[in-house]
Amino acid sequence: MRIRQRTCRTTLGATGLVLAVAGCGGTVAAASTGSSSAPTSVTTSSATSTPATTASAPATSTSTGTQTPLPVASTAPAPTSYPDYTNARFGYTVEHASSLPAQAPPNDGDGASWSEHGVTEASFGANNVNHLTPAQFLAVSERNVTVTYSHVSGDRVVVSGLIEGGFVVYYRLDIVGAGSVDSLMWTYDKASSATWNPVVARTADTFRPGDVSVEH
């Protein structure tokens, strides 16, 4: 099965499953959290590729002459409102941060994303073509991430942790059904956690999946 992500950079898990970002084409199979809210300390975790919009940290020279990246807080402002976005194809609804500009939508109509200065919110749906269970999806999505929190409850799977050498927070919520999967994903600089952790928690709490029992 495929998990889409905006970077279009794919990762092959040990099971041979392809992980990819929304809007890059293909089908997705994901899962979502056992609780409706994101963990208080939100961090990233997923075997999927990370959005290309994450900010790169400047480097400083060390005594050995190598370059060591430094964490830099994103300059993206906190949202002042949370408009609803409802996906016509998969039927899910998500609140999105008003301070993040909308990005070009994918051709297949599977989702939407909003991004600014290293902060990205993405929502997308995919058909569960490999019929993965929530537990199986969790095992795949934890790959290649320094996982700080993961949970499965019913059809909901949550993974959070760190990517990009520990400088970028990754959070993913998936609702896994027999027919399809609805997903919410966030990435942002770890240095900006105080601003974006509560925003992620709110959007996870209010995420409303469509009918994941069927394909779309």
Q: Which of 90, 91, 77 is nearest to 196 (CA)?
A: 77
Mind listing the pLDDT tens digit for each residue in 62-117? 444 444 455 567 889 999 999 999 999 999 999 999 999 999 999 999 999 999 99
The Cα 98–Cα 107 span in angstroms is 23
pLDDT number for residue 211: 98
pLDDT number for residue 53: 36
Residue 190, CA distances (Å) to 103, 150, 151, 174 in order: 22, 18, 21, 22
- Would you say 202 and 81 are in contact if contact means Cβ atoms under 8 Å apart? no
pLDDT number for residue 203: 98
Residue 195, CA distances (Å) to 41, 98, 190, 198 in order: 12, 14, 10, 7
Longest pairwise C-alpha distance within the chain: 58
Q: Where are the alpha helices (DSSP H) in the chain?
A: 134-141, 193-205
Mind listing the pLDDT tens digit for each residue in 158-195? 999 999 999 999 999 999 999 999 999 999 999 999 99
Domains and CATH numbers, the chain: 2-52+83-205 (3.40.1000)
- Burial label, 101 (beta-carbon count in 10 A; 0-12, 13-18, 19+): exposed
pLDDT number for residue 191: 95
Mind listing the pLDDT tens digit for each residue in 8-23? 333 323 322 323 333 4
Mean predicted confidence (pLDDT) in 51-58: 37
pLDDT number for residue 75: 86
